[in-house]
Structures are given as C-alpha cells and as structure tokens.
C-alpha cells in the first residue's frame, strides 16, 4: 500500500464503522477488568462512561483516556485530534465547563455526524463545543489559539506523524500542552512482518513505530518536558482486536503468526508534553 493510499483506506473503514453505529465490544483495552484496571492503565472509569451517551461509547476505539491525565481546567480551549464518536470531546467539555471551549476534528464526515448527535444527547448542544471535518495535519484552526491538544489512539493511523505534531504545536499557545494516548512498539519487529502489516494497514498495528522514535519526533515538532504517564502492553484478545480496528467486518484479518511476532511489543503509551 502506498503512503497516498493510507488515508483513503482509513477513512473508508471508519466511515463504514460510523454508519453501522458502532459496537459495544471495544476493539481496544477499555473494559473494566478489575477495580483498579482503569486507573492503572489510564482508561475510562465506570463513572466517566456513565456520563457519556451510548452512541459515543459504542463508537469509541481508543487505547486510553487523555482527559484523565490532561489536567483540564475550567475555561480552557481544548482540541481533540481524531474525535471519532466524541467520547473525549464530551468528557473534556464537562471538565472545562461552560466558560471553556472544545473542538473535535475528524476527517470522516460520517463519524463527525455521529459525534454531533452524541453532543446533543449529552446536553452540550448549546455549549461552545463542536466537531468538524478536518485532517489532523491541516486543521485550519488559528495559530496559538488552543490550551490543550488531546488525542486517543488516532495519530498512529497517520503515515506522517510528525506533520500532525507540527500542527498541534502551531495551534497551541506558548506553554500549551499535549495529552496523548497512542500505540507504539516497545521492541523490534522483523522487517517482513512490518511490511505485511503495512500492506493492508492492519488496524492500529501497521502504523506503530518504536517508542523512542515516536517521542523523538514529538520533540522535533517543538515540544519539551515529555512525560510518560502510563503504558500498557497488549496481548491475546486485545492484540487481535487492535489488529482489526475498528472491527472485524471493517479490516482484514492479520495472520496468527504475525500477531505472535508482535505479542508483548504492542504498547499503549500515555504521555504529556509542553509547547
């Protein structure tokens, strides 16, 4: 698959997923496996999920909960890169309050339509909260107009991740911050396996790069004070589901031997940084 093909493939998969209305079974590690699991791995708590419409929960395909460690404050302006069905937009809006502003960007029109439905269901229809169609690397938002950029397991899908982080740096005010959850590699993969993942842009695995390389490009984009908040290694059912994100009917199956090669190396990384 060529670099130019990837955005179209991703858009097609998530458009079909949004049209379907989503699924209660998340392809990512958001299930509450123990009383402390959500806290330990930076995921949503039961109390947070109870404040979000079912539509957003069913469309959620994140690998973390950036609003849980972004330290959002009343009155702040927040932008969510890859807003999907709006779960993080809604949680952010609840934290910044009526005096704050939240903008979600997603390049899938069908997903944006669903997120807007969810905002109304969440009682945010009359607030300064919006989800719009835009690419993460070209948001068209004003320079230095944002306090916080969040993103949840979406930047890994972009072939040019550094361009996404340069855009985040452009729209953030001096001293603004990132709160990101994304997929990275914690160990090397055979080159042949990586090529097979990329040949179909397999779920959230094909775009993974090594953690050090990922954080280096964040630094090159102009960010400092990069702090890892939490990490969670995926295996078994989580890994298989992640390889076919957003769902089995939307993404080709990854051969079991290739999944075995990435076992213990696919990592959900949560980190913050400053502009």
CA–CA separation, 183 vs 90, rounded Å?
Answer: 22
Predicted structure pTM score? 0.93
Render pLDDT for 162-207 as a digit per residue (tens, 0 to 9): 999 999 999 999 999 999 999 999 988 888 888 888 888 988 999 9
With pLDDT > 90 as the criterion, what percentage of the chain qualifies?
A: 71
Query: Mean pLDDT over residues 202-230, rounded?
Result: 95
CB 62 within 8 A of CB 150: no
Q: Answer yes or no: is pLDDT of 31 > 50.
A: no
Give the separation between CA 191 and CA 200, rounded to whole angstroms: 15
Is the predicted pLDDT of residue 91 greater than 60, yes or no?
Answer: yes
Of the candidate ranges 37-41, 139-143, 162-166, 230-234, the one whose mean pLDDT is the lowest: 37-41
Look at the block and give the residue holding tokens 């980190």: 271
| pLDDT, tens only, 79-88 | 999 999 999 9
What's domain 6-274's superfamily in CATH? Vaccinia Virus protein VP39 (3.40.50.150)
For residue 116, the model assigns a pLDDT of: 96
Return the pLDDT at 26. 55
* Residues 90 and 56: beta-carbon distance below 8 Å: yes
By DSSP bridging, strand 266-274 and strand 172-185 are antiparallel
Q: Which two tokens stand for residue 128?
A: 């300064």
Query: In this structure, how many other beta carbons lie within 10 angstroms of the beta carbon of residue 6?
Result: 18
Please report the pLDDT score of residue 2 as a whole number.
83
Strand-pairing partners, residue 274, are 177, 224
Tally Cβ neighbours within 10 Å of residue 104: 30
* pLDDT band for position 25 (cuts 50, 70, 90): low
Can you tell me the mean pLDDT for 45-67?
92
* 263 phi, psi to nearest 5 deg: -55, 130
Strands (DSSP E) contained in the chain are 77-81, 101-106, 129-133, 146-152, 172-185, 224-233, 266-274
């Amino acid at each position: 698959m060529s670099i130019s093909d990837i955005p179209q493939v991703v858009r097609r998969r998530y458009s079909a997923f949004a049209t379907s209305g989503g699924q209660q079974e998340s392809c990512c590690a958001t299930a509450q496996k123990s009383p402390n699991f959500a806290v330990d791995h930076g995921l949503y708590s039961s109390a947070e999920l109870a404040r979000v419409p079912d539509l957003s929960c069913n469309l959620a395909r994140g690998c973390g909960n950036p609003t849980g460690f972004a330290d959002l404050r009343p009155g702040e302006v927040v932008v969510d890169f890859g807003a999907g069905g709006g779960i993080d937009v809604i949680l952010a809006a609840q934290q910044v309050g009526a005096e704050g502003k939240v903008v979600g960007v997603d390049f899938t029109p069908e997903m944006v339509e669903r997120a807007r439905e969810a905002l109304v269901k969440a009682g945010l229809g009359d607030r300064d909260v919006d989800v719009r169609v835009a690419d993460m690397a070209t948001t068209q938002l004003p320079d230095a107009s944002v306090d916080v950029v969040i993103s949840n397991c979406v930047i890994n899908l972009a072939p040019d991740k550094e361009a996404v982080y340069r855009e985040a740096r452009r729209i953030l005010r001096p001293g603004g911050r990132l709160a990101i959850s994304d997929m990275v590699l914690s160990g090397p993969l055979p080159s042949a396996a990586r090529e097979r993942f990329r040949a179909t842009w397999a779920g959230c695995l094909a775009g993974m790069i090594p953690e050090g390389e990922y954080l280096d490009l964040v630094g090159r984009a102009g960010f400092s004070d990069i702090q890892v908040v939490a990490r969670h290694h995926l295996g078994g059912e989580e890994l298989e589901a992640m390889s076919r994100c957003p769902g089995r009917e939307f993404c080709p199956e990854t051969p079991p031997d290739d999944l075995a090669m990435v076992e213990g190396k696919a990592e959900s990384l949560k980190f913050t940084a400053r502009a």
